[in-house]
Structure 1
Amino acid sequence: MIRTPRTPSQSSSGTSQSSSGRDSMSPTSSQGDLIPSLMSLTIHPPHSIKPCYKMIIGASDRQICPLNGMPLVTIRNNSEELLFGYNKKKGKISSHTCDACGPLSKESNLQPVYSVFHCQRYVIFARNQEAGTVEQYVFNSETGGLEQVKIDELVYQEGISYPFMAIGTEKEFIQWEGKQWKKQQLTANGWVKIEPKPVITLKTLETADHSSDELAEPMRTVFCQHLMRNILIVGSRVFRFNENAQRFDKVHHSACKNKF
């Protein structure tokens, strides 16, 4: 047998390939490749999600239910208000309705007919669709809502109906659009819509316990940097509002409770 001698180039080439293969499999090379890729990663801080609701201690005209002394909490968004009560014995916050507190009357239950100017304010005559009666209301410029009144010298006049009527002294009006009506204010920049609010009725005002200014158990709302949302602290308990389920859930979280 005649052997063909290997040339130096062939030998070095094989050695080079073998060495190259070993380098590609070496742990040192793999770690070196990972370092630049890890350094290129950008870690973004968590973004604060602004809730689409506002958490308020108490209701529109009280902090405590006048019938059972239950502390109240209101969740307000652009279209409605949800009322909750805190049960101290059970340590829970649940939806609250009673003869004194509601359910809250809505503006959608009213049909404004016309308004008259009386004693430096506008009085609105409106049909209550649930009760089937015509009632009197005034506009509260501070809350943006309607409050029921009873002025005996003002008598409802049948046959009068206006699609556009003044309700406030700061250029606030009610305007009908088809079967819907809205509150709005004329400003230097044009018309600004006044969002619907729960209606304050005479029954609400008569049963309100205005002397109950202090709660039996302290309640406060704070923004939690850990949960990135508003939380409600009641004594030693912490709650968060579940937007999807429309309820308050208890959370085991002490960092913000101890801080505040």
Structure 2
Amino acid sequence: MTVASTAAAPGSTPVREDLFLGGRVKLRQPTRGYRAGMDSGLLAAACAAGPGQSVFEAGCGAGAVLCQIGARCPDVQLQGLERDAAMAALAGENLGLNALADRGAVRLGEVAAGPLADERGRFDWAVSNPPFFDDPGALRAPGPGKRDAWLADDGLQAWLDLLSLNAREGGRVLLIHRADRLADILEGLKRRCGSFAVRPVHPFADAPAKRVLVRAIRGGRAPLILHPPLVLHERSGGHTAAAEAILQGEAGLEV
């Protein structure tokens, strides 16, 4: 990710414009508070939606994942859900900025409210980068602009339920999360999903995984697949060649 510029409309929250996928995606994000980064790029790279398919994202923020999926996957329909009105407006703006307004939309809503009647069981892919914590006592209180991105008020299970309910039978559920929550994720999805696939994500080759990408199939029954790890950084500095290719949009990420 690189920063292209900083801007603010009169009376609005200051935003800056970041570039993703080697400049193919432009994203306006608040200059303060939570901003999408590497996790959004990895999640988007792992979504292998085909032409004519549909993708739902829970907690889409400013639209970083939706816009990157849209750039990677031609002719895919995109639907985002976001609780924060300002971020939802930015997401809609970013879809337009990336020529995706005709195949993408964002609605305001709460994850815990569950799926709308016309969204339940509709999507080929249901994806998310859920907040990493659901216990406010587990971390120092984040700043106001980061709270929704860090804390899942209704717990991780509410996010897993929404994803699995919005995926069609045979559809994919995909998320990136903390590696130490892997057991909770598998347990939370197993009522409706199976055919799990997991790819650990390590900051360095000699360090434990900090993230996992988990893919499940609604109604799937195949054995779990544990993919080789993705290593993000070299100890000598910079991204690994594999990570750089993914973040630049030159490669996908099988899960």
TM-score band, normalised by shorter chain: under 0.3
Give TM-score, length-normalised by structure 1. Answer: 0.26
Return the structure number with greater strand share: 1
Where relative contact order (Cα < 8 A, 6+ residues apart) is larger, the structure is 2
Give TM-score, length-normalised by structure 2. Answer: 0.26
Return the structure number with greater helix share: 2
